[in-house]
Amino acid sequence: MFKKEKMTLLSPCDYHVVREYLRAVDANVLFAYSVVNHDIEGKIFVDDCHTPTVFYIVHPYGMALLLGNTEQKEFNNVLKNYLSNHLNQRTRPEWLQVYPRTWEVTLNELLNKQLCFDNVNQHAISVLERLNFEFSSEKYYLQKETIDLEGNTLQRTDKSLYEKISGSVIPSRFWNNYSDFERFGVGFSLVDTKGTPLSTAFCSFIYDGQLELGIETDPRYLGKGYAYVVCSALIDYCLGNKLIPVWACSSLNSGSQKLAQKLGFSIIRKRPYYQLPNS
């Protein structure tokens, strides 16, 4: 994929070296910890396998983090080709965050006219905004609602449901297998009388007492409050197990923002991210 001497894969047995750099990041990057901790099989590219100072961490869902030294010019030249996808190295989109924020200046210089700000362009690199939220249990309990389940049943997400859930943000895209999900994660699904999952909230990432929520609802059942029901169940699980619920989304996702606020979350941080097309 890359010139080996400039940007190469870090061996999974050496992922631990990344943690020191990750601790400095002042934004939600639990997806990167998920890769570093081997919760999911991702990839980490570095400038040098022996003494790395730059890391490009890729989660299989498509989230990525560029981390470390911004001054490695040879690395940056190879990175430019990867981000631009001139050589078709990427076969799917990625959503890239960076740290430190001086990378924003570096990427602006590297990519220049290839950047499209504040809107999605399928043929350019779009610079958008990611929102990080903070949870308030007081706000959550104060606003808590009762939703009519309309004859459906709230269940813990078991193997059968894990395998049935379809869509984009689903457990099987965030965990290596059900065994790992059962052991380290958790989820709650609203199920109809035929056993079909209508909406599911699940642990997409978990690290250091924090659990990030993933949510998927069958498009036919949007607007019924089902997402609120399953998210509320997962939040209750967090509170009962001394875990901090975590929420993040794109500023373009107004539905996610509204749901987060109903569940007791408030925006605490805004950061740019780069949507990388695969063409």
Please check whether residues 80 and 147 belong to one and the same domain.
Answer: no
CATH number, position 23: 3.40.630
The SS3 of residue 69 is coil
Identify which has the larger pLDDT, 86 or 279. Answer: 86
103, 129, 155 — which closes off a domain? 129
Please check whether residues 66 and 169 belong to one and the same domain.
Answer: no
Query: SS3 for 28-46, per residue?
Result: CCHHHHHHHCCCCCCEEEE
Question: Average of pLDDT values for 157-176?
Answer: 96
Task: State the pairing for strand pair 63-68/54-58.
Answer: antiparallel
Please check whether residues 120 and 179 belong to one and the same domain.
Answer: no
99 and 65 Cβ atoms separated by less than 8 Å: yes
26 and 59 Cβ atoms separated by less than 8 Å: no
Q: Give the tens place of pLDDT for each residue, 7-52.
A: 899 999 999 999 999 999 999 999 999 999 999 999 999 999 999 9
DSSP labels, 83-111: HHTTT---SS-EEEEEESTHHHHHHHHHH
Distance CA 246, CA 12 (A): 26
Please check whether residues 109 and 173 belong to one and the same domain.
Answer: no
Number of domains within the chain = 2
Does 48 map to a domain? yes
Report the run of H or E that residue 179 belongs to, with start and end: helix 178-184
The pLDDT value given to residue 3: 45
Q: Give the tens place of pLDDT for each residue, 106-120.
A: 999 999 888 998 777
pLDDT at 273 over 60: yes
Distance CA 105, CA 233 (A): 42
Distance CA 254, CA 269 (A): 16
Residue numbers of the domain that contains 182? 137-263
Please check whether residues 64 and 153 belong to one and the same domain.
Answer: no
Distance CA 96, CA 83 (A): 9
The pLDDT value given to residue 279: 66
What is the 8-class DSSP label of residue 10?
Answer: P
Structure tokens at 113: 């006219």
Does 273 map to a domain? no
Does 271 map to a domain? no
Please check whether residues 21 and 123 belong to one and the same domain.
Answer: yes
Distance CA 267, CA 261 (A): 8
Does 269 map to a domain? no
Does 14 map to a domain? yes
Please check whether residues 143 and 226 belong to one and the same domain.
Answer: yes
102-111 and 73-84 helices, crossing angle to 10°: 70
Does 275 map to a domain? no
Please check whether residues 162 and 180 belong to one and the same domain.
Answer: yes
In 3D, which of 197, 173, 175 has the Cα closest to residue 186?
Answer: 175
112, 129, 146 — which closes off a domain? 129
248 and 130 Cβ atoms separated by less than 8 Å: yes
Please check whether residues 141 and 180 belong to one and the same domain.
Answer: yes
Please check whether residues 107 and 47 belong to one and the same domain.
Answer: yes
Q: Give the tens place of pLDDT for each residue, 179-238.
A: 999 999 999 999 999 999 999 999 999 999 999 999 999 999 999 999 999 999 999 999
Please check whether residues 23 and 55 belong to one and the same domain.
Answer: yes
Distance CA 57, CA 38 (A): 12
Question: Average of pLDDT values for 83-94?
Answer: 87
